[in-house]
Amino acid sequence: MRDRLILLPGWGLGVSPLEPLAAALQGLDEHLRVEIEPLPELESSDLNEWLDELDASVPDNAWLGGWSLGGMLASELAARRGERCCGLLTLASNPCFVAHAEWASAMPGETFDGFLAGCNADPRATLKRFSLLCAQGAEDPRGLSRLLSGGAPHTSGAVLMAGLELLAQLDTRHALQAFRGPQLHLFAGLDGLVPAEAAGELLALLPDVEIGLIEQASHAFLLEDPHGVAGAIQAFLHESGDD
């Protein structure tokens, strides 16, 4: 089903940040079916449990994509499916969200630990802080942050914690190297959560895939410029479909 794209959202903010992008993509190509698949609501941070849930609910033989945590999960699912996945695209999605010795271009561990502690104490306040960081670097960060937090679903604290714990341990480098289909990874130059340098690190790891950096943009660039992002994705899908 080369005409079907499944998008997975990021942590905590639900499907609404992806809706303008899905609409823009549909507007560019009436034959493309774009669906947003909510993340599993699990109280476990076991990656295989998350992938089992997604594997059961996401159609086979489609393009897989995602924003932030959704992109990391799409990468792992693409590697698991292999030839049963048409291709992969990620938006502001770091192979490792938390920095470690082998991947420096990521959030410092102590910053992330503060997030975990904050989420444990006050999930709502942590989501608000998270939406502010998502909007950092945007032309109208406050307006974008309000848009993000306003559309967030009322997820339980246990599910939010499990998602953060999963985010901390995910390392998609092997999955990205193992997946042989076409790949597009877009990063933002002013991202407050994923350093722009991650784009260069990923290019060194995967020299044969398409990697783009949108210079003046925030982590939530898909909401800042859904039509521009849709154009880049549509060009990638069209080019890859002609192979």
Catalytic residue chosen out of the listed positions 191, 218, 225, 240:
191
Q: What confidence tens digit (pLDDT) does each residue in 82-131 have?
A: 999 999 999 999 999 999 999 999 999 999 999 999 999 999 999 999 99
pLDDT of residue 242: 55
* 68: annotated active-site residue: yes
> Amino acid identity, residue 233?
I
Give how far the C-alpha of residue 80 lies from the chain's centroid of Cα atoms, to the nearest Å: 17
Q: Does residue 1 have a pLDDT over 90?
A: no
- Of 75, 105, 149, 219, the catalytic one is 219
Burial class (CB in 10 A: 0-12, 13-18, 19+), 54: buried
- The residue from 68, 131, 145, 149 that is catalytic is 68
User: Is 191 a residue of the active site?
Assistant: yes
The confidence score (pLDDT) of residue 45 equals 97
What pLDDT, on the 0 to 100 scale, is given for residue 241? 74
pLDDT, position 243 = 46
Contacts of 98 (CB under 8 A, 6+ apart): 106, 107, 108, 109, 112, 167, 168
Domain ranges of the chain: 4-241
CATH 3.40.50.1820 given to domain 4-241: yes
Residue 9 to residue 232: CA distance in whole angstroms: 18
What is the rounded average pLDDT of the residues 73-77? Answer: 98
Task: Give strand ranges (E) for the chain.
Answer: 4-8, 33-36, 62-67, 85-91, 183-188, 210-214
Query: Dmax over Cα atoms in the chain, in whole Å?
Result: 51
Query: pLDDT tens digits for 189-235?
Result: 999 999 999 999 999 999 999 999 999 999 999 999 999 999 999 99
Nearest to 119 by CA among 50, 68, 168, 47: 168
60 noted as active-site residue? no
How far apart are the C-alpha atoms of 114 and 131, rounded to whole Å?
A: 15
C-alpha distances in Å from residue 135, one per residue of 53, 112, 128, 190: 30, 17, 11, 9
